[in-house]
Amino acid sequence: MTTHSEHRNHEHAAAVAATVMGIRGVLRALDDVEYAETPPAFSFVALTHPQNGTPDATA
């Protein structure tokens, strides 16, 4: 028979494993995205000053 503490540790380990697997799945899905065909959600160029390329405070 397991103690309450052991049971909680097993539950925590299972939750951590599920989270890690979930993160790996998201990263794998992101890795599969074809960036050439999918426009980015925002462009870094839009966040820079048009003349000198420095960050634009007005953006």
How confident is the model over 5-54, as pLDDT tens digits? 887 878 888 888 888 888 888 888 777 665 555 565 655 555 555 566 56
Name the 3-class secondary structure at 40.
coil
* Whole-number pLDDT of residue 20: 83
Task: Check pLDDT > 70 for residue 4.
Answer: yes
**Which tops the pLDDT comparison, 11 or 56?**
11
Q: How far is CA 32 from CA 14, 19, 21, 44, 58, in A?
A: 27, 20, 16, 22, 35
* Whole-number pLDDT of residue 2: 72
* Whole-number pLDDT of residue 18: 81
